[in-house]
Structure 1
Amino acid sequence: MDNPKVVICMSTYNGEKFLAQQLDSFIAQTHQNWRLIVHDDGSTDSTKQILARYADLDDRVRVVDDEGHLGIKRAFLSLLSKEDAELYAFSDQDDVWHEDKLAVLVARLRGEDPSVPTLIYSRFDEIDAQNQILPDRSSQAVYSTRLKDFLLINTATGCTCMVNHALRDQLIRPLTSLRLSAIHMHDWWAALVASALGQVIFVNQKLVSYRQHGNNVLGAPTGGRFLKRFGRFLEFRESRIVDSGTKQAGELLRLYGPQLSVDQTQLVAGVADLFHGWAPIKKQRFLKRQGLFIRSKFLNIETILLLWMFPSQRRRVFSRNEV
């Protein structure tokens, strides 16, 4: 794998403000053997015109515009099937890739068994709308590679991820039967499948400037941010994360169950069953025994409180916080 082809998958929607910067960062990559496949999900601004201009300038850019509205989850997963390559990368429409992003990830994968489904991801820095780097919050970050760590929360940010051909095949094989409502987002799902069927690799290097727009749940640990988080906690707003985790666990078991080991099956089934019925003590013991508590005080407290709620109360909470 000296010079593997990397297919970059991007879904756009009204991204005219920052799209050109992102596309320019692809062109500036030191690893030049890449192809960009873009699905536009119904933009009404100049996004399509920007894409067409870059496609005219660079034949590595290909726009897929014949599938209509797909939504972000289906768009990204379906893009994996559009072209054969050794490697695939996910990209947002508004970030900026560091010029060595592809080169670093490709180099780290060199020597890995290509038959093992693999997802690799890295750290990132954060920028605002003016491209100014935001305060570093690395001390708060958690970077996981194990199945148990991906069951209730995701740590692999999509814009930093690359997957190999073996994982790509595992992701697209059941795509027609995949229940999209059961997965939170394409990057979390890809990391979950990789950690169950193969491996997840973390590169401790910042390779993407991840743009923040001011609406992110997580942010700098200021007093105002804490009060916002605490307010969301009081409303159980973060419960959708662990709820998504349990649903994804059930979907993983349904689609890939025969490929899981006995221990994996027991672990995944326990998470899938977490909010079914009412057995709070038993399920708290399961979480503790498996080491599944999340590195977030708010989420851990919410999870325990949810376990003690009657099923009808939980359903109301989850329904209120659906996105």
Structure 2
Amino acid sequence: MSSAGTETVLRDSGTPHVIVLLCAYNGERYLAEQLDSIAAQTHQEWTVWVSDDGSTDGTHGILEHYRQRWGADRLRVVSGPGRGFATNFLSLVCRTEIVGDYFSYSDQDDIWHPEKLQRALERLETHGRVVPTLYCSRTQLIDEQGRKLGFSPLFTRAPGFRNALVQNVGGGNTMVFNQAARQLLVSAGPDLRVVAHDWWTYVAVSAADGVVVYDPQPTLLYRQHGGNLIGSNLGWGARLQRIRLLMHGQLRGWIDENMAGIRRISPRLSPANRLTFDAFLAARDGGPLRRMCGLKRSGVFRQTFMGNVGLFAAAFFKKL
């Protein structure tokens, strides 16, 4: 294993090596299916690092079984901080002993399509490895028994910082990013108190003027069940829940958390993104007219018409 001092060195040639960052917590029911789908990838240069957040079921036994099958060089297990899924993922991505060319978040209960990693790498490699670059995609939804339920929303507007400030377009289970993006996350630190690691990843990469690739083709089966910490956000029930959370100020609190992260990487903001950031800050304070005008001036947007109506309503009621 390379030392922390050589951690930032990238491979100059050859097949890129992907580090799969899997966070687990009492995942015995579906974990084996997920690990099998990783093993079935058409891109075979990968290592799985698992951060277990204190499982009390059979998760450890399953991981040990796969470690013996694959070998210790293919599957590494560490203990998580025990402070929730977002902190667990950030702690894992910031572990300096983990060395790779690309990094892929993984939930414990999905099923990856065989070409998931290969498809992501083909798109990421076209942008090189110097600029922070993030790939994400749609998902196909399944229930607890694996029955297909439909697809996650199809977003049509180009991703970027003005969108990331108020919305996440990519589920973490679809995200693959390069070493430059990983280093950006490391520079912000593992101790950020953000609501979701994936939203923060989108915010950070876009804030630094990185490339965000949104793939409209689903790359995995996203399991919906009672244990989901974050679901698909589809349906009227999910919409009503978002409205309720918005009016109770929860969105404002989540944005505050991301803002704290942006300030940690503020030297990486481009001049255009800094102007957007300052205008958005103005849209969150002052009187209703100032907030509405500030939001319009910032150019910040959500992906749908109704989402943008809700955005301006949030600004009016000072819930943004």
TM over 0.5: yes
Alignment of 1:1-323 (within 5 A): 2-59=14-71, 60-65=74-79, 67-80=80-93, 81=95, 82-136=97-151, 138=153, 141-142=155-156, 144-175=158-189, 178=191, 180-181=192-193, 183-197=194-208, 198-213=210-225, 216=231, 218-220=233-235, 225=236, 229-230=239-240, 233=243, 236=246, 239-252=249-262, 254-276=263-285, 278-296=286-304, 299-309=307-317
CA–CA distance in structure 2, aligned partners of residues 49 and 231 of structure 1: 37
* Count of aligned pairs: 300
TM-score (norm 1): 0.83
Residue 275 of structure 2 aligns with an amino acid whose one-letter code is Q
Change (3 A) 1:274 1:213: farther
Give 4+ residue runs of structure 1 displaced > 6 Å after superposition. Answer: none
Closer, same or farther in 2 for the Cα pair 1:217/1:83, shift >3 Å?
closer
CA contact 1:249–1:271 (8 Å) conserved in 2:
no
Q: Which amino acid aligns with 2:205?
A: A
Deviations 1:79-138 (A, max 9, x none): 222411000000001000000101111122223221111111112111111111113454
CA contact (8 A) 1:249 1:272 kept: no
Distance 2:160 2:185 in 1: 18
**2: CA distance between counterparts of 1:275 and 1:282?**
9
Aligned-partner Cα distance in 1 for 2:104–2:261: 23
Closer, same or farther in 2 for the Cα pair 1:136/1:281, shift >3 Å? same
Change (3 A) 1:14 1:293: same
CA separation of 1:151 and 1:30: change in aligned 2, threshold 3 A: same
Q: Measure the CA separation in 2 of the matches of 1:77 and 1:68.
A: 10
* Residues 1:170 and 1:125: Cα distance change in structure 2 (over 3 Å): same
The 3-state SS of whatever aligns with 1:233 is helix
Paired-residue identity, % = 32
What SS does the aligned partner of 2:218 have?
strand
Cα offset, 1:234, TM superposition: 5.3
Deviation at 1:305, TM superposition (A): 4.1
Give the counterpart letter for 2:276 in structure 1: L
Residue type of the partner of 1:154? N
Q: What is the TM-score normalised by the length of structure 2?
A: 0.84
Letter in 2 for 1:218: N
Q: What is the root-mean-square deviation in Å for CA atoms of aligned residues?
A: 2.5
